[in-house]
Structure 1
Amino acid sequence: MSDLPSLDKPNKGPQFYLGLVFFIIVMVLLIFAGLKLHAWLEDEQQAPVQEIFISGDRHFIEDQQIENLVRRTQPGSFFELDVEATHQIVEAMPWVYRASVRKRWPSGLEIYVVEQKPAAIWNGDMLLNQYGDSFNAQLDEDDLVMSSQLPNLFGPGGSEQTALQGYKNMQSLLDVTGLHIIEMFLSERFAWNLQLNNGVKLNLGRTEFIDRLQRFVDLLPLISKQNKQIDYVDLRYDTGLAVGWKTLDKAA
């Protein structure tokens, strides 16, 4: 009878167990090193955000304000810093219109800001930017001159863009006269009332207000020939206008 192959399991010698022990030790060391590396990356003292680079045309925002805000709200390390959260925090600043944020290897942060450009004071306590968006920011004492040059616009909520566009269109007509709108009121029914820098008040009504203002511009030289001071001009007529003259008390 021929010999059959042996079915016994191969004998595991000392080398197998040494290799197994070595493999386990290597895996433990790798896990330990990974945990230490993760802890190191989370430790701000080991990998801090060393520099914050801020760019963009800035007039109302101080770089230190942005840096203080980022370091206060994102106190972790460079690796743990949340770029998207930082972007939202910076864009939430009153004077920031848009912002972009990205990391700069190995330990920096780049922030580019587009500042709000105030175009008008809205309802006495807010500002409108150049796009007609309202934002809640304060003009400090250094900006009082700019504040005095901004028109005061008043209107119902949601009419910001309509009000600003109407102001721009009407001011462009008045530029030839040298007059400026200092206050503009847009009623709930969208009737337009203006006050000019010479104290004259204009009532333009709800419809065809641009044509009515053009009528005022055309007739202003004739009205100005009167030896009286204008108090108001009512232009809510198909043709012509009504002029209210200042009394001696008002003129004084």
Structure 2
Amino acid sequence: MASRPLRKPARGAVRKPARKPARARLPKVPLRAVAARLGQALPWLLASVALGMVAVAGMHLPRVLDGYPVQAVKVEGVKDARRQQEVQLALSALVRGENFFSVPLARLHQEVSDLSWVAETEVRRRWPGELILKVQEREPVAIWNDTTLVARDGEPFQALDKYNTDNLPRLSGPALRLAEVMSYYHSMSRILQDVGLGIRAVGVNARLTAELTLDNEIVLVVDRDQYAHKLRRFVQLYRTSLEADQRALVRVDLRYADGMAVTWGDVVAPQNKPDERV
């Protein structure tokens, strides 16, 4: 097959150059979008830096903290060496091996608050190496059934071996009637104070009949019925005649509606009767 002759371009015609393929253009990213992306990445970057710093600090922190030991533990508000020693023993195990920053204040507070004779506790650090412990003690006002102390607010607590109890009145009675016996004791004490008499011991039976031993060894017996009136009658007679009598007053029974029975010591009453109705 014969080849076709190439056509010559017509006169005056201009051949257009072939177009070059256009280069791919990168999309333009707005500046705000760039800033937004940086803003999203920045927290993660900072967090990574912070974690790195924490890791480095964690390696060296124990060595640094060892330079701040607990130098002293001061206990304020504890008045007796026996109670002071109990606090120190309670704290020693928790403070041992700790530094000024790592010592567990919450556990220290709980440990001391759990002591039966402690009413309130406050624990704090004092720079550079002290722990300050402030304690408010329970104040005992009586001994109950020879086994328990009674605080001023009427609450019983176990700490007989931690207090000097020589001057505390001894109360005894049914185990579940402490509140009534304490109320009884306080009321009778106020009445007897008018003539300078104090109560050393009170024994109360199930019917709340009380036997009082006063600080001058006189024994008073009074029942619950109108006991305040009967005690005031005794106080009046004691002030006017009983106190001045030369005989030793041993016992006074106030369980009478219109009088009282008096027992004297040393010299007995007339007719050799140990008891005398007044």
TM superposition score normalised by structure 1: 0.70
RMSD: 3.8
Greater Cα shift, 178-187 or 89-98: 89-98
Match of 1:55 among 69, 76, 79: 76
| Percentage of matched positions with identical amino acids | 27
Structure 1 pair 61–91 and aligned structure 2 pair: CA distance change class (3 A): farther
1:77-118 Cα shifts (integer Å, max 9, x gaps): 332322222112123334433221112234321111122333
**Unpaired runs of at least 5, structure 1:** 8-22
| Cα distance in 1 between the residues matched to 2:210 and 2:68 | 59
| Cα distance in 1 between the residues matched to 2:83 and 2:167 | 23
Structure label with greater radius of gyration: 2
Contact 2:143 2:171 in 1 (8 A): yes
Q: Does residue 97 of structure 1 match 2:119?
A: yes
Contact 1:192 1:204 in 2 (8 A): yes
Counterpart position of 1:181? 199
**What does 1:77-156 correspond to in 2, within 5 Å?**
77-139=99-161, 147-156=165-174
TM superposition score normalised by structure 2: 0.65
Match of 2:182 among 155, 160, 164: 164
Counterpart residue identity of residue 53, structure 2 = L
Matched residue count: 230
Partner SS state of residue 148, structure 1: coil
Contact 1:233 1:243 in 2 (8 A): yes
Shift of 1:61: 5.2
Contact 1:117 1:129 in 2 (8 A): yes
Q: Does residue 69 of structure 1 match 2:90?
A: yes
| Cα distance in 2 between the residues matched to 1:245 and 1:217 | 17
Partner SS state of residue 111, structure 1: strand
Contact 1:60 1:95 in 2 (8 A): no
Counterpart position of 2:255? 236
Structure 1 pair 29–117 and aligned structure 2 pair: CA distance change class (3 A): same
Contact 1:133 1:160 in 2 (8 A): no
**Unpaired runs of at least 5, structure 2:** 1-20, 28-45, 269-273
| Cα distance in 2 between the residues matched to 1:95 and 1:58 | 12
1:162-211 Cα shifts (integer Å, max 9, x gaps): 43343233223222333321110233343332122343322221232222
The higher relative CO (CA closer than 8 Å, separation ≥ 6) is in 1
| Cα distance in 2 between the residues matched to 1:229 and 1:64 | 46
Counterpart residue identity of residue 32, structure 1 = A
Counterpart position of 1:17? none
Shift of 1:232: 3.2
1:2-29 Cα shifts (integer Å, max 9, x gaps): 544358xxxxxxxxxxxxxxx9x96774
Counterpart residue identity of residue 59, structure 2 = K
Counterpart position of 1:209? 227
Partner SS state of residue 184, structure 1: strand
